[in-house]
């Protein structure tokens, strides 16, 4: 069960307010629907796309010698976690590269963070992985050593279309749910891009402003920057 929602966690500023999470009739998933993986495991494992309309995008075809290459990244993809408490991120995939940053392998609630893999490079027998970091600015990524991480797969994907205010949930490449959602107001617009789930939280008060459940995202609002935590985005609301 996710940890209880502490009052200090108000930095999970909404990207999408699922104010009336009303499930819509099922439909067939279209070939051009862009979605990236979400999971309900104890450790957050999710990857989603928020856009103003449906688009297509190339997906990395990265593989590693000691793990099978994905048959289709439309169905599942790799994520990694820090093998230790913190993860060193480098600017380049090579020995002697400069350290870009050191990041915690878990969020403030003790949930291990699953970082989506975007590319692989093998240098002198050492595997390096370029991952999404969930740090500012949005879209930040960096390289980590294969010896410093463990691997997992995600089979869930979510795509949010702001133009239709629709959230679609896929599992193993098949559309499972479709919901009508609310989005940010014009003065506080929902940031578009690719993100992953950074935290799962269950508010103490389901009737409060965050609703009954919160999926904290790896991205940040481009407007609400003065909130505690820098304006981290989230999907939240009532079930």
Q: What is the pTM of this model?
A: 0.72
Distance CA 182, CA 202 (A): 20
DSSP per position, 93-135: SSTTPPEEEEEESB-TTSPBP-EEEEEEEEETTEEEEEEE---
Residue 39 to residue 14: CA distance in whole angstroms:
19
What's the pLDDT score for residue 239?
58
Tell me the pLDDT tens digit for each residue of 12-41: 233 333 333 444 544 433 222 232 333 333
Q: What is the pLDDT of residues 86-120, one digit of tens each?
A: 999 999 999 999 999 999 999 999 999 999 999 99
Q: What is the pLDDT of residues 57-92, one digit of tens each?
A: 333 333 343 444 433 345 568 899 999 889 999 999
Question: CB–CB of 156/38 below 8 Å?
Answer: yes
Where exactly are the structural domains of the chain? 4-57+155-237, 77-154
Architecture of domain 77-154: Roll (2.30)
Same fold, 4-57+155-237 and 77-154: no
- The Cα 77–Cα 71 span in angstroms is 9
- For 178-235, the pLDDT digits (tens) are 999 999 889 989 999 999 999 998 888 888 888 888 899 999 998 988 876 678 998 8
Task: Single out the residue of 216, 215, 209 nearest to residue 230, CA to CA.
Answer: 216
* Domain 4-57+155-237 in CATH 2.40.440: yes
d(CA 19, CA 169): 17
Region 171-183: what's the mean pLDDT? 91
């Amino acid at each position: 069960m996710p940890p209880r929602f502490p009052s200090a966690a108000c930095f999970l500023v909404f990207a999408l307010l699922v104010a009336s999470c009303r499930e819509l009739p099922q439909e067939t998933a279209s070939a051009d629907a862009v979605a990236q993986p979400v999971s309900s495991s104890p450790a957050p494992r999710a990857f989603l796309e928020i856009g103003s309309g449906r688009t297509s995008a190339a997906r990395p075809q990265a593989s590693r010698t000691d793990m099978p290459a994905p048959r289709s990244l439309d169905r599942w993809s790799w994520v990694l976690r820090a093998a230790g408490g913190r993860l060193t991120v480098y600017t380049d995939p090579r020995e002697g590269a400069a350290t870009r940053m050191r990041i915690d392998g878990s969020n403030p609630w003790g949930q291990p963070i699953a970082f989506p893999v975007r590319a692989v490079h093998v240098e002198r027998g050492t595997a390096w992985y370029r991952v999404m970091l969930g740090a500012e600015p949005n879209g930040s990524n960096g390289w980590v050593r294969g010896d410093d991480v463990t691997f997992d797969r995600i089979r869930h994907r979510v795509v949010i279309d702001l133009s239709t205010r629709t959230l679609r949930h896929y599992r193993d490449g098949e559309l499972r749910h479709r919901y009508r959602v609310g989005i940010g107001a014009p003065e506080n617009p929902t940031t578009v891009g690719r993100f992953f789930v950074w935290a799962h939280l269950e508010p103490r008060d389901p009737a409060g402003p965050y609703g009954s459940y919160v999926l904290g995202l790896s991205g940040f609002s481009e407007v609400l920057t003065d909130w505690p935590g820098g304006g981290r985005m989230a999907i939240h609301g009532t079930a």
